[in-house]
């Protein structure tokens, strides 16, 4: 099988890249190891930055998002039983975010790819990336019990942290920067209307809590728990009781409903440099991971593929590889700002298991600064709604 751009992984990054290339007249093939049902139902991120919203609209994938997504113009911070709202449009010149689940983004992009785009092969397991520094890299893969190979001008690894693409980088070239956190998130989906119309980030002595949503009738909620926690250790009643404690403030009530899903998300910061080796490019979780506190993972992946698509189109139109050569450095500038913001949000809101009273005072001082300084508040709002797509 032969194509211009071979894309490993049919998550939001791979699917959006295929869509961007299709609209530019560049052919691609997408290989996805899982089946379609898995891709369309795996629970992931749900907050889209302004730039991500704009990118989806630009490729014709925004109609259902605009109908069913929930535009949010701010978030609420809670600490010491106090409430402080951060007004995004007022602090950023009009930017906002959209609550629209990654599962729905994937459904929209899959439907477009199957209707209009190039081949999208589900159940096609990429086995390796070969010849990344040659003129025709190859991706051997297994599909429907047979082995084949995809021969490309370029390969893009959108295959996540455990995919094969990053493993094709020589050890002497790779540099890894990472941090693991001693806590995790216990996340639940509940069939109950959200108890607040915007996201609530709560710092409490017992641990962090987040009130989010998937729709006007489905709530998404999170609790800070020790790393390695088993979700089944928590009963439904215990989860609701703990959420109530951590969100507690005067004149507000947490609405309860049936829990339909429980899972535990580990917390990690990870960056692989560089993001390019020869004709192989990394995008999304294959190159970087952020703790979910800053809502940056999906949005960083979108930034990567928008940057790469522009570079590939530039080469097609001008014959110049300048933007392709700059891909890694361009993306990493944005990645490290997102890593910084996600780390700041995480360490400000999560009491550490070995934290001291001094650490707790510093966390409260950081929150007080945001609540009392327009400059500090604007810095949070600008980062949360999204760093520019260069």
Residue 222 near residue 229, CB atoms below 8 Å: no
Q: Are strands 219-226 and 199-203 parallel, antiparallel or unpaired?
A: unpaired
Helices (H), 319-349: 322-325, 327-349
DSSP string, 27-96: -EEEEESS-HHHHHH-----EE-HHHHHHHHHTT--HHHHHH-EEE-EEEEEETTEEEEEEHHHHHTS--
Q: How far is CA 186 from CA 35, 90, 194, 249, 379, in A?
A: 26, 33, 17, 22, 28
Residue 207 near residue 183, CB atoms below 8 Å: yes
Residue 45 near residue 137, CB atoms below 8 Å: no
Q: Which residues are known to be catalytic?
A: 72, 201, 292, 296, 384
User: What gap in Å lies between CA 388 and CA 50, rounded to an integer?
Assistant: 9
| Closest of 190, 39, 177, 217 to residue 113, by C-alpha | 39
126: which 2 tokens?
Answer: 């990429």
Q: Which residue has the tokens 């506190």?
A: 293
């Amino acid at each position: 099988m032969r194509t211009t751009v071979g894309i490993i992984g049919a998550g939001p990054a791979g699917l959006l890249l295929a869509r961007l290339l299709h609209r530019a007249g560049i052919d691609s093939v997408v290989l996805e190891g899982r089946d379609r049902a898995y891709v369309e139902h795996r629970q992931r991120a749900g907050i889209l930055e302004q730039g991500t919203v704009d990118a989806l609209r630009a490729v014709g994938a925004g109609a259902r998002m605009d109908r069913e997504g929930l535009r949010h113009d701010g978030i609420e911070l809670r600490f010491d039983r106090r409430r402080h709202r951060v007004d995004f449009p007022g602090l950023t010149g009009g930017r906002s975010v959209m609550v629209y689940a990654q599962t729905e983004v994937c459904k929209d992009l899959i439907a477009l790819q199957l209707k209009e785009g190039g081949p999208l092969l589900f159940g096609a397991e990429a086995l390796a990336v070969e010849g990344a520094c040659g003129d025709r890299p190859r991706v051997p893969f297994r599909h429907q019990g047979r082995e084949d190979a995809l021969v490309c001008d370029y390969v893009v690894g959108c295959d996540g942290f455990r995919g094969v693409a990053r493993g094709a980088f020589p050890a002497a070239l790779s540099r890894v920067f990472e941090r693991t956190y001693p806590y995790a998130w216990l996340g639940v989906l509940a069939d109950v209307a959200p108890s607040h119309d915007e996201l609530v980030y709560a710092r409490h002595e017992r641990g962090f809590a987040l009130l989010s949503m998937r729709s006007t009738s489905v709530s998404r909620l999170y609790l800070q728990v020790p790393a390695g926690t088993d979700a089944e250790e928590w009963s439904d009643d215990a989860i609701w009781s703990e959420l109530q404690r951590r969100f507690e403030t005067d004149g507000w009530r947490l609405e309860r409903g049936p829990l339909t899903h429980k899972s535990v998300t580990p917390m990690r910061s990870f960056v692989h440099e560089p993001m390019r080796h020869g004709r192989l490019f990394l995008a999304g979780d294959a190159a970087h991971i952020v703790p979910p506190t800053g809502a940056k993972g999906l949005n960083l992946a979108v930034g990567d593929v928008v940057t790469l698509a522009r570079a590939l189109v530039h080469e097609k139109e001008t014959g110049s590889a300048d933007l392709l050569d700059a891909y890694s450095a361009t993306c990493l500038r944005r990645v490290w700002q997102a890593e910084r913001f996600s780390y700041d949000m995480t360490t400000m809101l999560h009491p550490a298991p070995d934290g001291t009273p001094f650490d707790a005072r510093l966390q409260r001082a950081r929150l007080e600064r945001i609540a009392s300084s327009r400059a500090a508040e604007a810095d949070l709002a600008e980062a949360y709604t999204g760093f520019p797509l260069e």
